[in-house]
């Protein structure tokens, strides 16, 4: 039985992970972590499906429970993720990272941790989204320079980073397929005045409104035709199922950095 710990256990994603783990054969929730000062510290993790409510109590320090799990699933914030990666590496624990918005230096620190443990890090763990990464890459390689490329995304009003990590990953997949330097061609919004659209640009647009879980669309527009690749998430279960799938895949790995393309064998 694979023992899993989760961060943000009392949050929306944490609660979804609790439910998915409870209903996935071969895995069990063995530890739950929340931020220091949370009102949920010391409370039992709740299930809505009849599972023992006293099985796991929420703590505020990963060090207190590091001996209780095999793999940590972390959907928290960049600073916490880096700290958790350091602890997991020191104790040889694997990690699934769904946190977005990490800086380049924070990503480097997570990658350093992967030299001592196996880490699966992805901007989005939904199987459908990862298939879209591959489809966008294929479309870009076929369509080449004959299309304008736009990536739009919509999320709930509380999401802090924009564009989303998923939108950026889509852009990087497309840029790689076209042989373009992503940092040189990424454009965030359409210029209000002046220049004509750059033919090589990959243009991003973001909306933050209501309770939208996550919508992403890649538009390839040419003279006379348009191709759209769209993914819409109606709840967080798709992300949680993917994260648990990644945890199971990661369980028999040694060390190294992986992503969902590895898990789904889409490379």
**Exactly one of 94, 155, 216, 231 is catalytic; which is it?**
155
Given a cut of 70, is residue 194 above it in pLDDT?
no
Q: How confident is the model at residue 123 (pLDDT cuts 50, 70, 90)?
A: confident
Contact at 8 Å (CB) between 187 and 202? yes
* pLDDT, mean of residues 152-161: 92
Q: Identify how many contiguous H helices and E strands the chain contains and give both numbers.
A: 8, 12
Question: What backbone phi and psi angles, to 5 degrees, belong to 100?
Answer: -115, 170
User: Which domains are seen in the chain, by residue range?
Assistant: 2-121+236-263 (3.40.50.720), 127-233 (3.30.360.10)
What count of other Cβ atoms lies within 10 Å of the Cβ of residue 93?
22
93 catalytic, yes or no?
A: no
Q: pTM above the 0.85 mark? A: no
Which two tokens mark 233?
């998430």
Contact at 8 Å (CB) between 90 and 23? no
Q: How confident is the model at residue 46 (pLDDT cuts 50, 70, 90)?
A: low
Which two tokens mark 156?
């709930």
- pLDDT of amino acid 49: 44
Contact at 8 Å (CB) between 45 and 9? yes
Residue indicated by tokens 């620190």: 109
Q: Report the SS3 class of residue 95.
A: strand
CA distances in angstroms from 54 to 16, 28, 30, 149, listed in the order given:
18, 14, 11, 51
**Exactly one of 43, 116, 134, 159 is catalytic; which is it?**
159
**Which range, 50-54, 55-59, 236-240, is most confident?**
236-240
- pLDDT of amino acid 34: 93
N- to C-terminal Cα separation, the chain:
29
The set of residues, in sequence order, having a beta carbon less than 8 Å from that of 157 and lying 6+ positions away, is: 208, 209, 210, 211
159 catalytic, yes or no?
A: yes
Given a cut of 80, is residue 48 above it in pLDDT?
no
pLDDT tens-digit series, residues 87-117: 999 999 999 999 988 999 999 999 999 999 9
pLDDT tens-digit series, residues 204-262: 999 999 999 999 999 999 999 999 999 999 988 999 999 999 999 999 999 999 999 99
């Amino acid at each position: 039985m694979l023992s899993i710990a989760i961060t943000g256990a009392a949050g929306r994603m944490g609660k979804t992970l609790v439910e998915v783990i409870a209903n996935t054969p071969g895995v069990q929730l063995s530890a739950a972590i929340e931020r220091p000062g949370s009102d949920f510290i010391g409370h039992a993790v709740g299930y809505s499906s009849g599972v023992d409510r006293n099985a796991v109590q929420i703590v505020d320090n990963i060090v207190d429970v590091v001996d209780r799990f095999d793999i940590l699933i972390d959907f928290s914030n960049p600073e916490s993720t880096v700290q958790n990666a350091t602890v997991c590496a020191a104790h040889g624990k694997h990690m699934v990272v769904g946190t977005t918005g990490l800086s380049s230096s924070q990503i480097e620190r997570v990658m350093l941790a992967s030299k001592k443990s196996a880490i699966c890090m992805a901007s989005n763990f939904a199987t459908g989204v990862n298939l879209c990464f591959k489809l966008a890459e294929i479309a870009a390689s076929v369509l080449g320079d004959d299309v304008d490329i736009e990536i739009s995304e919509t999320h709930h009003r509380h999401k802090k980073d924009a564009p989303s990590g998923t939108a950026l990953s889509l852009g990087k997949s497309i840029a790689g397929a076209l042989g373009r330097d992503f940092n040189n061609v990424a454009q965030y919004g359409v210029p209000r005045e002046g220049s004509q659209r750059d033919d090589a640009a990959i243009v991003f647009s973001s909306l933050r409104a209501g309770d939208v879980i996550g919508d992403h669309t890649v538009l390839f527009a040419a003279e006379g035709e348009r191709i759209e690749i769209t993914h819409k998430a109606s709840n967080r279960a798709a992300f949680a199922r993917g994260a648990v799938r990644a945890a199971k895949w990661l369980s028999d790995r040694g060390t190294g950095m992986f992503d969902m393309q590895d898990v789904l064998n889409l490379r």
